[in-house]
Amino acid sequence: MASGFLVLISFFTRIPIGNKIEYNEESFKKALSLYSLMGVIIGIILFIVAIIGSLFRFDYVMGLLLTMCYTIVTGGLHFDGAADTCDGLFSGRTGDRIFEIMSDSHVGAFGVLCLIFVVLSQFVLFSNIGIFACFIMPIVGRTSVIVSSWNKKYAKKSKGMGTVFIESINTEVLIINILILTICCIIIPNKILMIIASVVTLISAYLISNWIEKKIGGMTGDTCGFITEICQIIFMFSVILLQELI
């Protein structure tokens, strides 16, 4: 599981872990129980950057630093998936044509709009949330992917890494990842607020994945990237909204 977890980090982040990590499908499957733990590592990095950013006079400096940091650490991997998903799902096409659009290396109008929305939202929301919400945000994002992939099948006819990921999310993997998120929320200040915002986000992830399933018959690697980015925005927005209400 440890080697599989390192494979997860090497695939889904740009965190340097050495060149001797080899992909093993069985280890990869086992490590999916720790998928949210990868969000903990990203969250710690964002937490440190948030502390540094909070030393500056303007909140937007922190927002810019965090947006840049998140993009660098993840390599923009989920941005690409989010853009491809929007191009395909909002194209007005059906069937295999949607997958053809999603697989196209060119970014369409909906993809560009999606990228603008995601990056701008991150910048604004990062500028207005606390350092502990910055820590929880990537954990919620990765747990959302697990929730959205649970009880789903891989939508494309061709098999790939996304097939292994999506079709390996069983109830045990789901519970362990949610447990990791819950523990992380409990050990920080404003735990009730974080838990409520996390629950809202996970419910949103499940509902969005059901909508995607109706459109294309399941989930893909691109739609997982879309879920990650959208749900992180939902979480940060929920935190800000709850802070005003509570």
Domain boundaries, the chain: 2-245
State residue 233's pLDDT score.
Answer: 97
Q: What is the pLDDT of residue 173?
A: 96
CA-wise closest residue to 130 among 236, 12, 208, 212: 236
Secondary structure string (H, E, C) spanning 128-186: CCCHHHHHHHHHHHHHHHHHHHCCCCECCCCCCHHHHHHCCCCHHHHHHHHHHHHHHHH
pTM score above 0.85: yes
Q: The tokens 């649970």 sit on which residue? A: 150
End-to-end Cα spacing for the chain: 41
Category of 152 on φ-ψ map: left (φ > 0), alpha (ψ -120 to 50) or beta: beta
> What is the Cβ-side half-sphere exposure of residue 202, based on CA atoms within 13 angstroms?
21
pLDDT in 10s for each residue of the chain, 246 residues: 677 888 889 888 998 887 667 777 888 888 999 999 999 999 999 999 999 988 888 889 999 999 999 999 999 889 999 999 999 999 888 878 898 898 888 889 999 999 999 999 999 999 999 999 999 999 999 999 999 999 999 998 877 778 889 999 999 999 999 999 999 999 999 899 999 999 999 999 999 999 999 999 999 999 999 999 999 999 999 999 999 887
Q: How far is CA 178 from CA 35, 50, 95, 122, 227, in A?
A: 10, 25, 33, 23, 16
Q: What pLDDT, on a 0 to 100 scale, did the predictor assign at position 130?
A: 93
The predicted structure's pLDDT at residue 17: 80
Q: For residues 20 and 83, give the distance between their C-alpha atoms in angstroms, rounded to a whole number.
A: 32
pLDDT for res 109: 93
Q: Output the pLDDT for position 11.
A: 86
